Structure 1
Amino acid sequence: MFGFTLKNLRTRSSRRSEMSNATIDPQRPIGELAREVPSYTRVFEAAGIDYCCGGDASLAMACNQAGVNLDDVREELADVQTDDAQAIDWDDLAELIDDVVETHHQYLREELPALEGLVRKVARVHGENHPELEALQAVYLDLAPAMKEHIREEEEEVFPIIEKLDRGDSLSDAERRRLREVIEEMEADHEETAELLDLIAELTDGYTVPADACPSYESMVERLDALERDTHEHVHKENNVLFVEAETKLSDGVESRNS
């Protein structure tokens, strides 16, 4: 799916990790694994495993869908360095929201318009020799405004309700219903974004720079690749952490405890 192979990640030291691959349950959801050990996302990326929108799938199922060997992936997960501890407190939803906005939303606000200009330029200059660039431009022009609208809706409607919930403030019945509805809408948007990014990956042959590419073409491919990788991490934080925790608090009636 992502144009990478597991061997890209094989940079093992001579010492084995204390964690054996036998300790990694193949029936655990991959989104849950990535939440507990953020470094695992590097393995999932390299293996072409969809850990963001497909985070509910078990490790075994995800490996099967990606066409990679389960034991190889478990070995890589056991070897991955986990000493770069997650700096964000997953239980503090306000802190996580700040991280999403400052890290991912700000990146999109700066990168999407700049990348649009680059995509248009490359399609104009190289379109005759690379007819797939016309389709690439069309897909990107669908993707960029959709992502801009998505982050606007999150910041103006979704995140304020989650922050209120996280503070322990009482939510009205309408707010509770709306939060559940809008989380479903955001997750559906994430699925659509993933489909568009898949198309871009196909149209660039897995983000491969052609032999006749100029520096602008090369930069476009590299930045589209980076956009997909950032989106995977972004969606993982929302689908598998933020929205899950918000749903749990709603179900537990957490916001009523301080009222």
Structure 2
Amino acid sequence: MSELRTPALQTASPVGLWVAQYPRTAEVFDMLQIDYCCDGQKTLENACWENGLEVVRVHSLLKYTVAQAGKDAQPDWMHASLSQLCDHIEQKHHALLKDSLPLLSDLMAEVVNLHGDDHEELREVQQHFITWRDEILAVMVEEERSLFPAIRRFENDLDRSQSLIDSIQKMIQRITFKHADIGEALKKARSAAKHFSAPQDACGKFSQMYGLLRWIEADVRHHVHKEESILFPRVKTAVNS
């Protein structure tokens, strides 16, 4: 696969664009603990420097991953309709959070109650988790009730008024600010949890809670990335054209 195919294979390109063009690279960024969702606008070069990584080595690993992936089986969200992308985010990511967050909240409360005195970091993890949980649930409500229906109306030529365009742009701006807060809370929770590494004396529920938190957090980052690096830029282009 040639580097000339897309600017996403350049070290000066945003990490969010890498994942937008080549979803399989998310696995590399996850492994290296490079945030490609809320910090998706950072260039690969800067992200490597900030994480003490050699740019050349990371760049080579990404190119290898892209070459091995070949034709990615995932849908091409860069070219699917905006309505399809909104449907996908609701049906995959929103649905997952609605099902999993209550379970995680209850499990975390139980673990903190049992082990919070011996592991004070658990209370900090819980505090940051509650922050991003409540923020993202509020964002989901606004998206499902207001933003996504507005995007669908615009795309399907049901309403292309300036008032609708202004409303869409204001909602995207507001949600982008909330995404930044969610990203910061995610980082703080991950740091307090020592990247979800359960201590040696952890019971089964303690380890299960960290495993579930890690899994949900990874999906949240994919979720935010699809909005920040794919949906929102495409919507802005559409309403301004």
Give the structure-2-normalised TM-score. Answer: 0.91
Query: One-letter code of the match for 1:242?
Result: L
Q: Secondary structure of 2:69's match? A: coil
Q: What CA deviation, in whole Å up to 9, does each residue of 1:36-88 have, x standing for no partner?
A: 11111111111222211122222112211222111111111111132333224
Could you say which residue in structure 2 is the equivalent of 1:87? 75
Could you say which residue in structure 2 is the equivalent of 1:177? 166
Distance across 1 between alignment mates of 2:193 and 2:77:
37
Q: Secondary structure of 1:142's match? A: helix
Gaps of 5+ in 1: 1-17, 253-259
Distance across 1 between alignment mates of 2:202 and 2:166:
51
Q: What CA deviation, in whole Å up to 9, does each residue of 1:1-36 have, x standing for no partner?
A: xxxxxxxxxxxxxxxxx557xx93111222222111
Query: Alignment partner for residue 145 of structure 1, among 129, 134, 137?
Result: 134
Once the two structures are overlaid, the 10-residue window that deviates more, 67-76 or 141-150, is 141-150
Distance across 2 between alignment mates of 1:203 and 1:32:
29
Shift in alpha-carbon separation, 1:115–1:208, aligned structure 2, 3 A: same
Could you say which residue in structure 2 is the equivalent of 1:29? 14
Could you say which residue in structure 2 is the equivalent of 1:39? 24
* Contact 1:60/1:70 (8 A) holds in 2: yes
Query: One-letter code of the match for 1:70?
Result: V
Give the structure-1-normalised TM-score. Answer: 0.85
Query: Alignment partner for residue 158 of structure 1, among 147, 155, 158?
Result: 147
Distance across 1 between alignment mates of 2:132 and 2:20:
26
Aligned length: 234
Distance across 2 between alignment mates of 1:60 and 1:138:
33
User: 1:86-235, aligned counterparts within 5 Å?
Assistant: 86-91=74-79, 92-235=81-224
User: Where in structure 1 do 4 or more consecutive aligned residues deviate above 6 Å?
Assistant: none
Distance across 1 between alignment mates of 2:32 and 2:125:
24
1:55 aligns with 2:44: no
* Contact 1:53/1:239 (8 A) holds in 2: yes
Distance across 2 between alignment mates of 1:201 and 1:224:
9
Q: Post-superposition shift, 1:232?
A: 1.1
Could you say which residue in structure 2 is the equivalent of 1:77? 62
* Contact 1:165/1:249 (8 A) holds in 2: no
* Contact 1:26/1:60 (8 A) holds in 2: yes
Distance across 2 between alignment mates of 1:88 and 1:103:
15
Gaps of 5+ in 2: none
Identity among equivalent positions (%) equals 28
Q: Secondary structure of 1:184's match? A: helix
* Contact 2:13/2:43 (8 A) holds in 1: yes
Distance across 2 between alignment mates of 1:156 and 1:182:
11
RMSD between aligned alpha carbons?
1.8
Distance across 2 between alignment mates of 1:200 and 1:229:
13
Distance across 2 between alignment mates of 1:176 and 1:158:
11
Query: One-letter code of the match for 2:229?
Result: N
Distance across 1 between alignment mates of 2:121 and 2:38:
27
* Contact 2:21/2:78 (8 A) holds in 1: no
Distance across 1 between alignment mates of 2:17 and 2:130:
33
